[in-house]
């Protein structure tokens, strides 16, 4: 469900034609819909009603401060994975007592920052990290609130690059070691054990792996409690998948049913870290066709956005629906095309042999479901400026990140003393 629909022949974000935004900010750009963000957050939060749950939006999916603020105003907390994200979440108005700090390689500086900020919980992913956090907390003279992230050795049945819950993955503490590590943590003066965390992967479209992971967590909680270790909070991570191509996917209600079925009766407060589910459908990337190139064997639409702007197709062979901003006639003939960017790599391809209605150079295309892990993962490869981002609310739209100019990118470089610019 989203708020990008054709009206009077033009694809609109809520009440604003995307062509109007293109005129105002140039192409390519990202555009987000407030109504869609709010809808998804509410559907997710409502599905959990009756549970003692905190929804900590995974900032990595879309870290724009306007996006985080939109969700924070509805009551969302934040899941952050770097000192930078922690600063962003706080700048966006998320109270620290609703922030979870996750991540496999937090530095001592980041751990100290998390403690000083007063975050709700730090998810520890290894024994060396536990030791480091204990040291840092003792230096600060406090006890750090800690959940151990457990690796349950469960296959999330998603893309290999975004599966995190198998024992060969770098994430978490093997569940078979969990008891020993908890016992050790319980004796550390700088550590206050609050609970257990798990996150097995992203874009899960099958609920069974969640079920299996949460059951394993349940067994672990029973074992820990039997040994007198207090477990009061469970962090169930993110990972709920969304439809990219209209495929049926389980929604928040079905996901919540799995939660109720597995861990709801343990008397723990629950933390959720959804990212994609909240922002994925709430964003599009709009790009203009530069050339239509008739190749020897196929037609290429060469657009002004590239793999550096939306990496998902190159990195994960991900599917994004691509539609013309000007509504095609219902009976328009479809022709297979490859939509590609200007970057000098064959991987800079958004789709291959995809049926598309007739389009021409100068036309705008919208790449849909680009709100999650789109702008967040963009780079300046090929010295291409980072895209501007626009947030729409009803009839209003606002530039929420300006385009990074080429001059700004070049200005970050420095010549060493032994090369004189003057020659
Ligand atoms: N919590 C933790 C600890 C995570 O590592 C992640 C995502 C999330 C929550 C949020 O997961 P979500 O609800 O968004 O699935 N760039 C990839 C996705 C990487 C996900 C990384 N971790 C993509 O574009 O598909």
Whether the pLDDT of residue 238 is over 90: the answer is: yes
Q: How far, in Å, is the centroid of ligand 1 from the Cα of 122?
A: 17
The Cα–Cα gap between 288 and 277 comes to: 27
Determine the atom of ligand 1 nearest the C-alpha atom of 273. Answer: 9
Confidence of residue 19 (pLDDT cuts 50, 70, 90): very high
- Answer whether 242's CB lies under 8 Å from 275's CB: no
Please, which residues bridge with residue 96 across strands?
none
pLDDT number for residue 423: 55
Whether the CA torsion 113, 118, 123, 127 is positive or negative: it is positive
Distance 331 CA to ligand 1 centre (A): 39
User: Which pLDDT value is given to residue 421?
Assistant: 64
Pick from 106, 238, 271 the residue to mutate for probing ligand 1's pocket: most ligand atoms within 8 Å of its CB: 238
Contact 365, 320 (CB under 8 A): no
Q: Do 395 and 16 touch, CB atoms closer than 8 A? A: yes
Q: Taking Cα atoms as reference points, which of 129, 165, 65 lies closest to residue 80?
A: 65
End-to-end, the C-alpha distance of the chain in Å comes to 59
Parallel/antiparallel/unpaired status of strands 335-340 and 299-303: parallel
Q: Which of 12, 56, 344, 351 is catalytic?
A: 344
Mean pLDDT of 10-32: 98
- CB within 8 Å of 34: residues ≥ 6 apart: 14, 70, 391, 392, 393, 394
Instruction: Give the per-residue pLDDT at 162.
Output: 85
Say if residues 62 and 279 touch (Cβ distance below 8 Å).
Answer: yes
Q: How confident is the model at residue 99 (pLDDT cuts 50, 70, 90)?
A: very high
Bridging pattern class, strands 299-303 and 283-294: antiparallel
Residue 90 confidence (pLDDT) above 70:
yes
Q: What is the mean pLDDT of residues 270-274?
A: 98
- Tell me the pLDDT tens digit for each residue of 54-75: 999 999 999 999 999 999 999 9
Helix (H, G, I), strand (E, B) or coil at 44: helix
Answer yes or no: 344 catalytic: yes
* Range 149-174 average pLDDT: 87
CA distance 146 to 152: 18
Confidence of residue 148 (pLDDT cuts 50, 70, 90): very high
Cis peptide before 28 (omega within 30 of 0): yes
Ligand 1 site, residue 324, Cβ cutoff 6 A: no
Strands (E), 28-156: 29-33, 53-58, 77-80, 99-101, 121-124, 144-151
Ligand 1: does its nearest atom lie under 6 Å from the Cβ of 239?
yes
Ligand 1: which atom is nearest the Cα of residue 277?
A: 13
Query: For a substitution probing ligand 1, which of 60, 123, 285 has the most ligand atoms within 8 Å of its CB?
Result: 60
Measured CA to CA, the distance from residue 284 to residue 304 in angstroms comes to 15
Does the C-beta of 277 come closer than 6 Å to ligand 1? yes
What's the predicted TM-score (pTM) here? 0.97
Cβ contacts of 133 within 8 Å, gap of 6 or more: 111, 122, 124, 144, 146, 190, 191
What separation in Å is there between the alpha carbon of 14 and the centre of ligand 1?
27
Structure tokens at 327: 């509504």
In this structure, which residue's CA is closest to atom 7 in ligand 1? 202
- Whole-number percent of the chain with pLDDT over 90: 92
Do 375 and 387 touch, CB atoms closer than 8 A? yes
Cα angle 303, 304, 305; round to 5? 95
pLDDT of residue 252: 98
The backbone region for 345, taken as left when phi is positive above 0, alpha when psi lies in -120 to 50, beta otherwise, is beta
Outline where DSSP puts E strands in 274-388. Answer: 283-294, 299-303, 322-324, 335-340, 349-356, 364-367
Q: Is the predicted pLDDT of residue 271 greater than 60, yes or no?
A: yes
CA gap 236, 58 in Å, rounded: 12
Report CA(273)–ligand 1 centroid distance (Å).
9
Q: How do residues 315-369 score in pLDDT, each as one tens digit? A: 999 999 999 999 999 999 999 999 999 999 999 999 999 999 999 999 999 999 9
The mean pLDDT value of the chain amounts to 96
**Pocket of ligand 1 contains residue 3 by CB under 6 Å:** no
Q: What is the mean pLDDT of residues 103-108?
A: 96
State the pLDDT at residue 420.
74
CA 40 – ligand 1 centroid, Å: 16
Cα(137)–Cα(131) distance, rounded to whole angstroms?
10
H or E element in which residue 392 lies: strand 389-393
Q: Distance of CA 272 to CAs 54, 57, 69, 249, Å?
A: 6, 8, 18, 19
- Spatial contact of 281 and 369, defined as CB atoms under 8 Å apart: yes
Residues sharing a CB contact under 8 Å with residue 286, sequence separation 6 or more, in sequence order? 18, 21, 22, 27, 28, 29, 30, 31, 325, 364, 365, 366, 367
Residue 252 CA from chain centroid, whole number: 17
Ligand 1 site, residue 199, Cβ cutoff 6 A: yes
Measured from the Cβ of residue 297, the count of other Cβ atoms closer than 10 Å reads: 7
- Kindly indicate the confidence band of residue 160, based on its pLDDT and cuts at 50, 70 and 90: confident
Q: Which atom from ligand 1 is nearest to the alpha carbon of 312?
A: 24
Residue given tokens 């952050």 in the structure block: 80
Give the rounded distance of the alpha carbon of 278 from its chain centre.
9
């Amino acid at each position: 469900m989203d708020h990008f629909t054709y009206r009077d022949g033009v694809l609109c974000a809520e009440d604003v034609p995307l062509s109007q935004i293109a005129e105002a900010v140039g192409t390519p750009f990202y555009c987000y819909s407030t109504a869609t963000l709010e809808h998804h957050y509410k559907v997710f939060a409502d599905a959990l009603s009756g549970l003692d749950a905190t929804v900590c939006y995974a900032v990595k999916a879309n870290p724009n401060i306007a996006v985080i603020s939109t969700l924070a105003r509805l009551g969302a907390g934040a899941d952050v994975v770097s000192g930078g994200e922690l600063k962003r979440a706080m700048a966006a108005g998320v109270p620290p007592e609703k922030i979870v700090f996750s991540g496999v390689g937090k530095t001592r500086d980041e751990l100290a920052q998390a403690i000083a900020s007063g975050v709700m919980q730090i998810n520890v992913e290894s024994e060396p990290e536990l030791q480091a956090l204990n040291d840092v907390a003792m230096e600060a003279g406090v006890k750090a609130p800690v959940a151990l992230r457990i690796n349950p050795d469960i296959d999330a049945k998603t893309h290999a690059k975004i599966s995190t819950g198998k024992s060969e993955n770098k994430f978490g503490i093997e569940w078979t070691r969990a008891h020993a590590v908890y016992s050790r943590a319980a004796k550390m003066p700088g550590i206050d054990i609050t609970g257990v965390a798990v996150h097995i992967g992203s874009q899960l479209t099958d609920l069974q792996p969640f079920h299996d992971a949460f059951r394993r967590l349940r067994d672990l909680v029973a074992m820990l409690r039997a040994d007198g270790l207090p477990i009061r909070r469970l962090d169930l991570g993110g990972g709920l998948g969304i439809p990219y191509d209209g495929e049926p996917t389980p929604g928040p209600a079905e996901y919540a049913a799995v939660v109720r079925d597995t861990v709801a009766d343990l008397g723990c407060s629950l933390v959720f870290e959804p990212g994609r589910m909240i922002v994925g459908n709430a964003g599009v990337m709009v790009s203009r066709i530069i050339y239509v190139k008739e190749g020897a064997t196929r037609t290429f639409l060469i657009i002004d956005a590239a793999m550096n702007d939306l990496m998902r197709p190159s990195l994960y062979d991900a599917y994004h629906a691509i539609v013309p901003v000007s509504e095609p006639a219902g009976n328009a003939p479809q022709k297979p095309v490859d939509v590609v960017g200007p970057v000098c790599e064959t991987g800079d391809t958004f789709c291959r042999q995809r049926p598309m209605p007739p389009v021409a150079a100068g036309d705008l295309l919208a790449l849909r479901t680009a709100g999650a892990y789109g702008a967040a993962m963009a780079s300046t490869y090929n010295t291409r400026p980072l895209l501007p981002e626009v947030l729409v609310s009803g009839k209003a739209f606002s530039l929420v990140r300006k385009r990074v100019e080429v001059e700004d990118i070049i200005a970050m470089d420095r010549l060493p003393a032994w090369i004189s610019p003057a020659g």
